[in-house]
Amino acid sequence: MSARWRVVPGGLAWGERRFVWGERTYVMGILNVTPDSFSDGGLYLDPERALEHALAMEEAGADIIDVGAESTRPGAVPVPAEEEVRRLLPVLRRLAPRLRVPISVDTYKAEVARVALAEGAAMINDVGGLQKDPAMAAVAAEAGVPVVVMHCRPHGHVHYDDFWGDVLGFLRRSLELAEAAGLPPEYVIVDPGFGFGKTAEHNLDLLRGLHRLRVLGRPVLLGTSRKSTLGRVLNLPVSERLEGTAATVALAIPHGVDIVRVHDVAPIVRVVRMADAIVRHPHWEAPAGVPSRVPQPSGLGTAAGPAAPDTIQLRGLRFRARHGVLPEEHRREQVFVVDLDLGLSVREAARADDLSLTVDYSEVFRRVERIITGPHRQLIETLADSVARDLLAAFPLEFVRVRVAKPEAPLPGAFDQVAVEVWRSRGDL
């Protein structure tokens, strides 16, 4: 890998390329170097043709290229690791020097992932959720790369006593395995496993309930592209499922999906950009000469208070850390007190009495703690802004107010405390 991953406020960076969750939806382009994948098997076995396709997907707007050398479709014959590596190596050796976006290796075998990472792959997409190969979590941790953990069951095992309980329980176990291996939580992305060990009805329920994944506090990847559930609903062959794929992508974005994995990059990039313009509130401006009404920041900071329908308040979160401008503040820990207002509707959560429909306070605390007790910052302004952006990226909030107080600030006179308060809305990302 020429570039290295690092944690940044609200997400990850690979070299100069940033993945800030909640800022926009990222597109992962699929490159199968297999003879038997359900949609494009055999098309890109030739390494030069694979390179050409990868470059075309990058040009069309793909943020990640996901390369797989073993089909995971129902009925596919498992491939030995040696064969998987044989298919991958000539492709990776052509892609790595040419692509400007990170390469993901789609495998559940630690041995294959290790080789792929050494040849230029920059992340792992594990359909086994770190649970098929017990060595996979250690491979990701040692390499310092992100890993996508997917919920899966053997094909045909579609009886669930508690569907969402099974999905969330499996993914929690994957997160535990990553943590035990020493992989930072920021490096784990969850995938609910559309089409893996699920009926068409399960898959549709999964799309309706994607908001339930919020309880995990991790970015979400969704892979619906051209899959059989779309064919069953539309009664169409795999070659005619673009519109069905686009519908699932557009409807998933309001539920907070961060990455979509697709075959048809160019049209889906357009779908994503339009959906993001509606849902994620970027700073969009009309072309010159077109009248437009500039949106106001939802009443934030006005006497009337926030315009969001409900507010969750966390008060007096206390941490000890070393932040400040003076040399003594680099050496001596001080108390930092954080107050939060989180703006989102809690009506649905209150009605269903369901934690997955609101925010997990423990996860909020952990996120704030990681920033406040993290790397040294000179300004509490920086701390407050970093906390606000991280929470907006992690949760479906309309706005967040963050107040960071420093009761022991080294001022030359009597005072109660020094504090900075920032308001941030989703449009500020």
* Residue 389 among the catalytic residues: no
Q: What is the CA radius of gyration of the chain?
A: 23
- Please say if 227 is a catalytic residue: yes
Distance CA 169, CA 324 (A): 41
What token pair was written down for 89? Answer: 């190596």
Q: Tokens standing for 67?
A: 């390369």
Q: Dig out the tokens for 380 from the structure.
A: 């509490």
Residues 6+ apart with CB under 8 A from 176: none
Mention every residue, 6+ apart, whose C-beta is less than 8 A from residue 187.
Answer: 5, 7, 12, 140, 144, 145, 146, 147, 178
Contact criterion met (CB below 8 Å) for 124 and 145? yes
Three-class secondary structure of residue 189 per DSSP: strand
Residues 13-23 as b/e (b if ≥16 CB within 10 A, e otherwise) read bbeeeebbbbb
- CA dihedral 116→121→122→123, nearest 10 degrees, is -60
Q: Is the dihedral of CA 191, 194, 196, 197 positive or negative?
A: positive
Q: Tell me the C-alpha distance between 364 and 320, whole Å.
A: 17
Q: Which of 24, 214, 218, 261 is catalytic?
A: 261
The tokens of 377 are what? 């910052």
Active-site residue, selected from the candidate residues 24, 94, 212, 227? 227
**Is 249 in contact with 271 (CB distance < 8 Å)?**
yes
Q: What gap in Å lies between CA 38 and CA 275, rounded to an integer?
A: 28
Active-site residue list: 227, 261
